């Protein structure tokens, strides 16, 4: 009986897999780029046909023109700096508070029993509704706006970090304790690396919530900011400027999510090589 020869020599399986894995990201970008181009082209065609007036539905070229107009003035840089400061500080404070709090809630069961009702209550509450109270307590300046962003972002981080710790394999923790591992050692070498995917997922959710917080905060008496810019443009029926502000928020969210995905892939590779 004849034996069919293999098409690949021994030892070539891994390089073949590596080549396939290298092709997958490029295919992802190609398909994504084509989809975006087709969507923009369809949008431009609908806008040129004037199914709706320009004041209702501007096209991509109108939005690009609005971008040129905006960035030809110095005011847009003040708006970007204001919104960026509120977003950054709110996210940093949310991470500094939410990450350790979530991991402590997940690690200590009794602490979870104590804090879970408060976390559940505040998470279920529409935090945007707290805006009037925050303005009364903190004033109409940056402090109230940063606090709104903080409240929007902190709960996704806290809840995801707690879920990651609570989802650790109990058998692995028992083995570590049998070998004499202290709580700090187990937390640092097992719990923290094991919860990285949950932490990154929480941060990615927090970015979207924080951007909503920036927009809502700047509707409440702000002097500068992209949200204020969009609000003023909407009141003046400058729809293309509203779309430009929307794209600024969207591109910020996409960029931050891409950075977090790179962080997640870095830790995935580190865990696999460990």
| Domains of the chain and any CATH numbers | 60-273 (1.10.3720.10)
Q: How many CA atoms lie within 13 A of 190 on its CB side?
A: 21
Q: Is 95:102 a contact under the CB 8 Å cutoff?
A: no
pLDDT band at 202 (very low <50, low <70, confident <90, very high): very high
Q: Enumerate the H helices of 72-169 as residue ranges.
A: 75-107, 109-124, 131-138, 142-166
pTM: 0.83
- Residue-wise pLDDT for 70-124, tens only, equals 999 899 999 999 999 999 999 999 999 999 999 999 988 899 999 989 998 988 8
> pLDDT tens, 112-163?
999 989 998 988 888 888 888 898 898 888 899 999 999 999 999 999 999 9
| Non-local CB neighbours of 167 within 8 Å, separated by 6+ positions | 198
At 188 the pLDDT is: 80
Residues 6 or more apart whose CB falls under 8 angstroms from that of 212 comprise 128, 152
């Amino acid at each position: 009986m004849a034996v069919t020869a293999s098409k690949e020599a021994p030892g070539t399986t891994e390089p073949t897999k590596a080549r396939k894995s290298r092709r997958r990201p490029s295919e992802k970008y190609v398909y994504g780029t084509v989809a975006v181009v087709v969507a923009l082209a369809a949008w431009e065609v609908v806008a040129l046909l004037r199914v709706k007036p320009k004041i209702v539905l501007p096209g991509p070229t109108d939005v690009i023109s609005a971008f040129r107009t905006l960035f030809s003035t110095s005011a847009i840089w003040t708006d970007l700096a204001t919104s960026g400061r509120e977003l950054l500080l709110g996210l940093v404070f949310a991470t500094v508070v939410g990450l350790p709090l979530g991991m402590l809630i997940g690690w200590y069961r009794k602490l979870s029993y104590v804090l879970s009702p408060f976390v559940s209550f505040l998470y279920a509450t529409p935090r945007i509704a707290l805006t009037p109270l925050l303005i009364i307590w903190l004033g109409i300046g940056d402090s109230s706006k940063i606090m709104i962003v903080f409240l929007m972002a902190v709960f996704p981080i806290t809840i995801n970090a707690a879920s990651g710790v609570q989802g650790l394999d109990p058998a692995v923790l028992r083995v570590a304790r049998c070998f004499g591992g202290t709580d700090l050692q187990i937390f640092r070498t097992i719990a923290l690396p094991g919860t990285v995917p949950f932490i990154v997922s929480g941060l990615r959710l927090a970015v979207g919530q924080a951007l909503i917080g920036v927009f809502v905060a700047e509707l409440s008496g702000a002097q500068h900011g992209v949200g204020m810019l969009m609000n003023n443009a909407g009141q003046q029926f400058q729809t293309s400027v509203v779309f430009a502000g929307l794209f600024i928020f969207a591109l910020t969210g996409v960029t931050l999510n891409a950075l977090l995905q790179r962080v997640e892939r870095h830790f995935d590779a580190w865990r696999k090589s460990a």
